[in-house]
């Protein structure tokens, strides 16, 4: 654990040193001086403000609700069947059939719940990959067209963790400790993404 933390601390130190070197020549976003032209993008904000992500996420929530409703319906059927079965005579043919039906419904419910979980995880993964890919692509386009030498991802870590291992990981993923607001191009990337998405929604 100690070695892992030391490695993460060393990685953070490398990024800090890199930032200290490059910031010597950083200028506002619209300026391009002799030094490197660097931009910063807050990946979490980009996800939150990208309208397409909001739409796809809502679709996921709607599908999740549909699955929950289906599962609750099946569970209610099992409860009703069990209550009905308890009123029947022990050893009766009708009770035996009800018990067999209950077992089939239980297996069906478990299978449906597992299927729903797999489908939702798969769809969530696809949405994250798609949105992240579009953010990266748009950032690359802006970087090339605007003459950037380097665009760095910024992501604020969640430090309120009860586990030391989680805290170490969260500290390790933070690659930007400070930057001038002048180099933050998050709003520019979001503006371009939403503009493209508006065109994408327009009927042909």
Q: How confident is the model at residue 170 (pLDDT cuts 50, 70, 90)?
A: low
Q: List the domain range (segments joined by +) for residue 143.
A: 2-201
pLDDT digits (tens, 9 = 90+) for 39-70: 999 999 999 999 999 999 999 999 999 999 99
User: What CATH code is carried by the domain that includes residue 131?
Assistant: 3.30.910.20
- Predicted confidence at residue 104, as pLDDT, reads 96
Give residue 27's pLDDT band: very low, low, confident or very high (50, 70, 90): very low
Count of the separate structural domains present in the chain: 1
Give the DSSP per-residue string, the chain. Answer: -HHHHHHHHHHHHHHHHHHHHHGGG---TT---SS--EEEEEHHHHHHH-HHHHHHHHHHHHHHHHHHHHHHHHHHHHHHHHHHHHTSPTT-HHHHHHHHHHHHHHHHHHHHHHHHHHHHHHHHHHHHHHHHHHHHHHHHHHHHHTT-SEEEEE-------S-HHHHHHHHHH---S---GGGB-HHHHHHHHHHHHHHHHS--
Confidence tier at 4 by pLDDT (50, 70, 90): very low
């Amino acid at each position: 654990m100690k070695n892992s933390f030391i490695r993460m601390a060393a990685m953070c130190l490398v990024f800090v040193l890199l930032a200290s070197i490059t910031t010597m020549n950083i200028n506002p976003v619209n300026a391009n001086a002799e030094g490197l032209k660097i931009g910063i993008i807050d990946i979490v904000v980009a996800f939150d403000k990208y309208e397409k992500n909001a739409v796809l996420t809502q679709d996921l929530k709607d599908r999740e609700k549909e699955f929950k409703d289906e599962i609750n319906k099946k569970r209610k059927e099992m409860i009703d069947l069990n209550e009905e079965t308890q009123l029947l005579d022990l050893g009766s043919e009708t009770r035996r059939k009800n018990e067999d039906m209950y077992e089939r419904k239980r297996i069906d419910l478990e299978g449906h719940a597992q299927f729903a979980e797999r489908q939702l995880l798969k769809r969530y993964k696809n949405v994250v990959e798609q949105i992240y890919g579009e953010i990266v692509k748009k950032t690359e386009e802006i970087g090339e067209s605007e003459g950037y030498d380097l665009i760095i991802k910024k992501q604020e870590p969640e430090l309120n963790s009860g586990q030391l291992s989680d805290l170490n990981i969260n500290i390790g993923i933070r690659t930007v400790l400070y930057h001038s607001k002048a180099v933050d191009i998050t709003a520019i990337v979001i503006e371009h993404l939403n503009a493209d998405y508006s065109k994408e929604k327009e009927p042909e």
